[in-house]
Amino acid sequence: MGPNGSGKSTLGNVIAGREGYQVTKGRVEYLGKDLLALEPEERACEGVFLAFQYPVEIPGVNNTYFLRAALNARRKYHGEAELDSVGFLKRVREKLEVLHIGDELLHRAVNEGFSGGEKKRNEIFQMAVLEPRLAILDETDSGLDIDALKTVAEGVNRLRSPDRSMVLVTHYQRLLDYIEPDHVHVLAGGRIVTSGGPGLARRLEEEGYAWLEDGGIAEVAEAS
Amino acid sequence: MSSNPTVERHLEGRYKHGFFTDIEADSLPPGLDEDVIAAISARKREPEWLLEWRLRAYRKFLKMTEPHWAHLEIEPIDLQAISYYSAPKSDKDKPQSLDEVDPKLLETYDKLGVPLHERARLAGVAVDAVFDSVSVGTTFKKELEKAGVIFCSFAEAVHDHPDLVRRYLGSVVPQHDNYFAALNSAVFSDGSFVYVPKGVRCPMELSTYFRINAAETGQFERTLVVADEGSYVSYLEGCTAPMRDENQLHAAVVELVALEGAEIKYSTVQNWYPGDENGKGGIYNFVTKRGDCRGDDSRISWTQVETGSAITWKYPSCVLSGDNSVGEFYSVALTHNHQQADTGTKMVHLGSNTRSTIISKGISAGHGQNAYRGLVKVGRKAENARNFTQCDSMLIGKRCGAHTFPYIEVQNPTAKVEHEATTSRIGEDQLFYCLQRGISEEDAVSMIVDGFCKQVFRELPMEFAVEAKALLEVSLEGAVG
């Protein structure tokens, strides 16, 4: 969590390897590997997944086709055989069932004409199929009505597992009404300024960021 | 992805059809005058009326000037430096069947993937292959004959079906239509002829494969497709040429005539040599294609995938003369390196309740320049005419250009004309989204482009759609960065 401009999305983008960011200091070690030395697609194949704040539309490219290409790229990277369409569809249907998502997503082009809620659900669905080791969900709750929020939260809860780390980037407690976090970290000015349990999020909701004894943070919070 | 080196890498795909077949050719010396035209006509043992037709066209041509209204930069063309007739020598004793065709020629087609022999049978495609200026072999003739379909080289049609040729030749594209059409009318050497009789649904896809082989020759083929009342035919056309440093001129004319209730589907995959990455060489593709929905309830559909040629100048058009007739134009045009394309269509609504659809997808990469130019014209008597135009451009990299020139002329107040246009860049966002899912940059680009073209590809016959997709991938190698 953290006020606008505190670096939450930046952190996600840097980890995923988006262009336009320069790492001036520090390193990112991930499962014993230097993550920053890898290309974005290699990071993805190593199990890093970024659920986008604004999922991108790719007109004319079928969602199923896209996902299969993604999954097979990953399998190829790990020296595994590619899944044929039968095997792939089986897997996809399993995931849809677990997430209680209808299969209409499968027939449409990637995010094309999707509502905000559908886009976010599609991100969760992709995450389920790709089974990442580290998932960063960048403001997945933003712009969602309460029903969509519940679906997304439910999806996240079902995908929680000891083999998977998840980082939720959010402004609001309301997502955390449905997802109980293990840890809450507050980011400000590009640094983690405080950490705690679920109670920390509730306090932030009630009191804002101003109570944190850092003048800089308070200013940023007000400005936003 | 902010800098371009990766894009460049993709784009440097090699032209795969750039081989040359060493065959003895019977060519006319370069130059153009009435003697040359008479010589072409004589070589083809043409009847007097056709020679006169050519000469009339030539005289009109002499009064015309090269058009320069298109958004193209064209080096001057020296028409006197071109040879207007080149035929593989064995043509002197014209092969009677495929077995007599020079094996080297067949090998050439083999390399191109033209299924002239058994592969054709399996694929169910009848191929009329035009090599430089003559047609070398028409497959499936017998089977088509059974259905009453005439599918042969233009030269054969002149001899065997002179009445049909005389009735329809020049009836859609008049000799003086434009500079290049006039030139073609004077010097055309061969091409294909199709006639589908009343009520016949042509039992297979018809296909012509053009290839320019000899150096310093132009290819001026002439295609005429006539679909009689209530008939249907689907016609495919593919084109390649060897790599050469000089520019070569290709000025074809295609005429389609659909009588009452007839339907013609005409698909083109054009992959003429585009020139090298510095813009040296390549084909000048100046083509006039037009269909006339002459009868009521007729339909003509053009689908084209244009990835080749240094310069493309073509506007496959429909004249919707018959009431309730339908014209369609689906196009993908890709320009890369220094390629230029000015392409589009004309939909001329004359009959009432006529409808037309235009879907144009332009992709520009490298220094490529891509222009859509389209005219929708609704005549005074065309009650309730409808047009829908969608014109999308995609830019890859930062040095290419996309241009749209829509013209709309409406003379009847009941007309409804819609025009939608978009321009997008293959976004860093789209690309990053794919990368983040583990998909390589190259795969991501071809996936995004393929999705962009989907509306057009699905209009192509299956095998052609696969070829078109593969062609686009090759043409785009190295296009993103």
The domain limits of chain B are 17-428
Domain match, A112 and A220 both:
no
Given pLDDT bands bounded at 50, 70 and 90, which one contains residue B22? low
Cβ atoms of B346 and B317 within 8 Å: the answer is yes
Percent of chain A with pLDDT over 90: 46
Number of domains in chain A: 2
Between B74 and B414, the higher pLDDT residue: B414
Between B383 and B191, the higher pLDDT residue: B383
Of B1-15, B306-320, B412-426, B464-478, give the lowest mean pLDDT range: B1-15
Query: Among B430, B440, B451, whose Cβ lies nearest the Cβ of A56?
Result: B430
Provide the number of CB pairs (under 8 Å) joining chain A to chain B: 81
Give CA separation, A67 vs B177, B224, B440, in Å: 51, 46, 13
Domain match, A144 and A221 both:
no
Domain match, A158 and A219 both:
no
Domain match, A139 and A161 both:
yes
Region B250-271: mean pLDDT is 92
State residue B203's pLDDT score. 84
State residue A223's pLDDT score. 39
Determine the residue of chain B that is closest to A130 in CA distance: B437
Interface test with chain B among A42, A65, A66, by most B beta carbons within 10 Å: A66
Distance CA B339, CA A35 (A): 40
Determine the residue of chain A that is closest to B2 in CA distance: A19
A69/B441 touch (CB, cutoff 8 Å), yes or no: no
Distance CA B437, CA B405 (A): 38
Region B296-307: mean pLDDT is 93
A19/B454 touch (CB, cutoff 8 Å), yes or no: no
Residue A2 domain-assigned (yes or no): no
| Nearest chain A Cα distance for residue B274, angstroms | 27
| Nearest chain A Cα distance for residue B390, angstroms | 14
Domain match, A32 and A100 both:
yes
Given pLDDT bands bounded at 50, 70 and 90, which one contains residue B102? low
Closest-CA residue to B332 (of B311, B363, B302, B355): B363
Between B328 and B98, the higher pLDDT residue: B328
State residue A220's pLDDT score. 41
Per the listing, tokens 């083929």 go with B221
Query: Among B440, B441, B451, whose Cβ lies nearest the Cβ of A58?
Result: B451
Taking contacts as CB-CB distances below 8 angstroms, the residues of chain A near B429 are 56
Of A46-55, A80-89, A99-108, B292-301, give the lowest mean pLDDT range: A99-108
State residue B117's pLDDT score. 41
Interface test with chain A among B437, B439, B449, B480, by most A beta carbons within 10 Å: B437
Cβ atoms of B387 and B376 within 8 Å: the answer is yes
Give B306-354 as a DSSP string: E---SEEEE--EEEE-STT-EEEEEEEEEE-TT-EEEEEEEEEE-STT-
Per the listing, tokens 């371009």 go with B4
A73/B439 touch (CB, cutoff 8 Å), yes or no: yes
Taking contacts as CB-CB distances below 8 angstroms, the residues of chain A near B437 are 44, 66-67, 69-70, 73, 126, 130
Distance CA B363, CA A178 (A): 46
State residue B254's pLDDT score. 95
Rg (CA), chain B: 22
Between B88 and A67, the higher pLDDT residue: A67
State residue A224's pLDDT score. 38
Domain match, A79 and A151 both:
yes
- Measured between its terminal Cα atoms, the distance across chain B in Å is 4
State residue B115's pLDDT score. 46
Between B129 and A87, the higher pLDDT residue: A87
Give A54-100 as a DSSP string: SPPPEEEEEHHHHHHHHHHHHHHHTTPPPP-HHHHHHHHHHHHHHHT
Query: What's the whole-number average pLDDT of chain A?
Result: 87
Region A40-49: mean pLDDT is 95
Between B69 and A25, the higher pLDDT residue: A25
| Nearest chain A Cα distance for residue B98, angstroms | 41
- Distance of alpha carbon B447 from the chain centroid: 25
Residue B337 has pLDDT above 60, yes or no: yes
List Cβ neighbours of B280 (8 Å cut-off, separation of 6 or more).
Answer: B245
Interface test with chain A among B4, B6, B426, B436, by most A beta carbons within 10 Å: B436
pLDDT digits (tens, 9 = 90+) for A63-83: 999 999 999 999 999 999 988
State residue B292's pLDDT score. 97
Residue B244 has pLDDT above 60, yes or no: no
pLDDT digits (tens, 9 = 90+) for B107-119: 655 555 554 443 3
State residue B95's pLDDT score. 44
Residue A3 domain-assigned (yes or no): no
A60/B451 touch (CB, cutoff 8 Å), yes or no: yes
Cβ atoms of B337 and B364 within 8 Å: the answer is no
Domain match, A142 and A31 both:
yes
B435/A39 touch (CB, cutoff 8 Å), yes or no: yes
Helices (H), B349-481: 428-436, 441-457, 462-475
Query: Among B1, B432, B448, whose Cβ lies nearest the Cβ of A61?
Result: B448
Residue A167 domain-assigned (yes or no): yes
Taking contacts as CB-CB distances below 8 angstroms, the residues of chain A near B453 are 60
Of A1-5, A99-103, B52-56, B465-469, give the lowest mean pLDDT range: B465-469
Task: Using a CB–CB cutoff of 8 Å, tell me whether A76 touches chain B.
Answer: no
Query: What's the whole-number average pLDDT of chain B?
Result: 80
Taking contacts as CB-CB distances below 8 angstroms, the residues of chain A near B449 are none
Between A76 and B281, the higher pLDDT residue: A76
Residue B126 has pLDDT above 70, yes or no: no
Query: Among B436, B440, B454, whose Cβ lies nearest the Cβ of A60?
Result: B454
Of A91-100, B264-273, B467-476, give the lowest mean pLDDT range: B467-476
State residue B352's pLDDT score. 96
What is the complex's ipTM, to 2 decimals? 0.92
State residue B470's pLDDT score. 75
A49/B436 touch (CB, cutoff 8 Å), yes or no: yes
Domain match, A50 and A151 both:
yes
| Nearest chain B Cα distance for residue A98, angstroms | 21
Region A195-207: mean pLDDT is 85
Region B319-324: mean pLDDT is 97
| Residue A61 buriedness (CB in 10 A; 0-12 / 13-18 / 19+) | buried
Given pLDDT bands bounded at 50, 70 and 90, which one contains residue B16? low
Cβ atoms of B84 and B28 within 8 Å: the answer is yes
Distance CA B112, CA B321 (A): 38
Residue A52 domain-assigned (yes or no): yes
Residue B94 has pLDDT above 70, yes or no: no
Task: Classify strands B134-138 and B125-131 as parallel, antiparallel or unpaired.
Answer: antiparallel
CATH of the domain at A120: 3.40.50.300
Domain match, A140 and A107 both:
yes
Residue B132 has pLDDT above 70, yes or no: no
Residue B63 has pLDDT above 80, yes or no: yes
Q: Which residues of B77-101 are buried (b: 16+ CB within 10 A; e: fewer)?
A: bebeebbbbbbbebbeeeeeeeeeb
Residue B481 has pLDDT above 70, yes or no: no
Between B101 and A179, the higher pLDDT residue: A179
Taking contacts as CB-CB distances below 8 angstroms, the residues of chain B near A56 are 427, 429-430, 432-433
Domain match, A203 and A176 both:
no
A58/B430 touch (CB, cutoff 8 Å), yes or no: yes
Cα-Cα-Cα-Cα torsion B24, B28, B31, B37, nearest 10 degrees, comes to -140
List Cβ neighbours of B432 (8 Å cut-off, separation of 6 or more).
Answer: A18, A19, A40, A56, B1
Percent of chain B with pLDDT over 70: 77
Distance CA B154, CA A4 (A): 72
Region B385-390: mean pLDDT is 95
Given pLDDT bands bounded at 50, 70 and 90, which one contains residue A5? confident
pTM (two decimals) = 0.78
A59/B432 touch (CB, cutoff 8 Å), yes or no: no
Region B268-275: mean pLDDT is 78
Domain match, A31 and A50 both:
yes
Cβ atoms of B16 and B474 within 8 Å: the answer is yes
CB atoms under 10 Å from CB of B307, counted, come to 24
Domain match, A170 and A201 both:
no
The whole domain housing A132 covers 8-180
Rg (CA), chain A: 18
Given pLDDT bands bounded at 50, 70 and 90, which one contains residue B103? low
